[in-house]
Structure 1
Amino acid sequence: MRRKTHRTGGPRATDPRDWPSYRLAVMDEDFLLSPAMRGVRLQMECTKADDALRAAGIRSTLVVFGSARITEDGPGRQPAWYAEARRFGRIASERGGALYPVAGVRDNVIATGGGSGIMEAACRGAHDAGAPAIGFNIRLPLEQLPNAYTTPELTFQFHYFAIRKLHLAMRARALIVFPGGFGTLDELFELLTLRQTRRVGAVPIILMDEAHWRRIVDWQALVETGMIERQDLSLVHFAEDAEAAWQVLETGGVVVRV
């Protein structure tokens, strides 16, 4: 039986420049979005934001967490939480170094998840002071739009929660946490774990509205059941308003430039 051979003569039916295999790898979206390139995509997400923050001279941040569902005129304590987050954004920007860079470097720039609610309020406070604000947005099935107060060149979108968390933590000089849901709790305990395991330095963690947080988490029960050491409770500070939160940061050694 005669064996079939690959035909090498004659013109091709299509132009090889149209073939997916001929695309430059960096221009091949199908390839870049394939499972094989997940590690590269993680690196790209990390590097893109890092490069932009370095170019903007952002050396350190003050990270503000809290619910995206809180509104300025919402029910219960929501208006008070929104107002204090906005006030903190302004106070921190005016006193912490974000407003007046030194040798092109800004410290203690407000950074949030970039969305609505408490994130909007903190960025709005920075905007009130005329300072930049960073938005680390995450791509979700129900699209989360950036709030109106993040600085355009410092407004990012991430696909991977892990890389977003990395950027929220890597420049943080402090963490200020307002009431929130699963996402807020996730970010809070991420930083608490890094502090407890000494993977980050002395980053103050401040919970706003002590009564609320003592209802949400039974801190003492964690000690009594042996889940944490008593001294671990010192990792958490409580404050009732923006001014009190700033005083905690001053005590904790956050650089202040008046």
Structure 2
Amino acid sequence: MLDRASDPPGLPSNLAQQASPSYRLAALDQDFLLGDSMRGVRFLLEFTKADEALRAFGVRSTIVVFGSARARADGPGRQPYWHEQARLFGQIASQRGGALRKAGGLRDNVIATGGGPGLMEAANQGAYEVGAPSIGFNITLPREQQPNPYSTPALTFRFHYFAMRKMHLAMRAAALVVFPGGFGTLDELFELLTLRQTGKAPPIPIVLVDEAYWRSVICLDALVANGMVEAADLQLLAFADGAEATWRKLVAAGLKVAPP
């Protein structure tokens, strides 16, 4: 910072110029960076920061696991069962899918979740228990979401923009596994289904866990009966009722698994 205090008497001070917001370096000016005109730059920053970290860690592909943040291991009804199956699936997928191996410096089928509590935490926990890395794509919410303690610290991200978070969830996904959940889970499910239906995403397998739950929540046959989707579109997803069955469905649907 310039200092004109020692200049000869009579010269005007430049302290006002130095204190002006316009004089700040653009990269260090938060008022500027957080303004409306820089929204596109912030999108780029959110994309690039996570992308560089994932590349550095060697994550080539992921298995995205979504489900309710509210379902607890000691919760009511079937919540304990869903929680346990999500944890077991995290173990199975990590052990058999390639997350533990770095073939050519790359890892495949790394568990990736929304990073929060509930069933997403359970999937991260399963990966953690077998010594595998896993990803947490957290989002800033009005009631601040905290990252769960099981996602790999170097792969635990926080996004402001849902759109950029969704992009990262989709772009490396080799499969999607959806446990019971609410609005957020439905949002992610239909995001990936739409990408698959429109050919904007590769033909990844999508498995919904607990068929009875999903049949009670979504009447897929009504969509066909009313001409909203083609009958063939229902082949984009499958159902399973547990962790082991889910893994078998993914492999049968074409999930690529490197030989041990």
Q: Say if 2:122 is the partner of 1:132.
A: no
TM-score by length of 2: 0.94
2:121 is aligned to: 120
TM-score by length of 1: 0.95
| AA matched with 1:115 | G
Q: Which runs of 4+ in 1 moved over 4 A?
A: none
Q: Say if 2:91 is the partner of 1:90.
A: yes
Deviation string 1:134-159 (CA, Å, 9 cap, x unpaired) is 00000011000000000001000000
- Share of identical aligned residues, percent? 63
Give aligned pairs, total: 250
Deviation string 1:165-196 (CA, Å, 9 cap, x unpaired) is 00000000000000111000000000000010
**Secondary structure at the counterpart of residue 21 of structure 1:** helix
1:42 is aligned to: 43
1:4 is aligned to: none
1:195 is aligned to: 196
Gaps of 5+ in 2: 1-9
In the TM superposition, residue 15 of structure 1 has moved relative to its aligned partner by 4.5
| AA matched with 1:96 | G
**Secondary structure at the counterpart of residue 99 of structure 1:** coil
**Equivalent runs, 1:128-167 vs 2, <5 Å:** 128-167=129-168
For residues 160 and 186 of structure 2, the distance between their equivalents in structure 1, rounded to whole angstroms, comes to 20
For residues 204 and 104 of structure 2, the distance between their equivalents in structure 1, rounded to whole angstroms, comes to 24
| AA matched with 1:224 | A
Q: What is the RMSD of the two structures over their aligned residues, measured on CA atoms?
A: 1.1
Deviation string 1:190-213 (CA, Å, 9 cap, x unpaired) is 000001001111111100000000
1:78 is aligned to: 79
For residues 254 and 203 of structure 1, the distance between their equivalents in structure 2, rounded to whole angstroms, comes to 7
1:54 is aligned to: 55
For residues 183 and 11 of structure 1, the distance between their equivalents in structure 2, rounded to whole angstroms, comes to 60
**Secondary structure at the counterpart of residue 46 of structure 1:** helix
For residues 236 and 90 of structure 1, the distance between their equivalents in structure 2, rounded to whole angstroms, comes to 22
C-alpha contact 2:206 2:250 (8 A) present in aligned 1: no
C-alpha contact 2:139 2:160 (8 A) present in aligned 1: yes
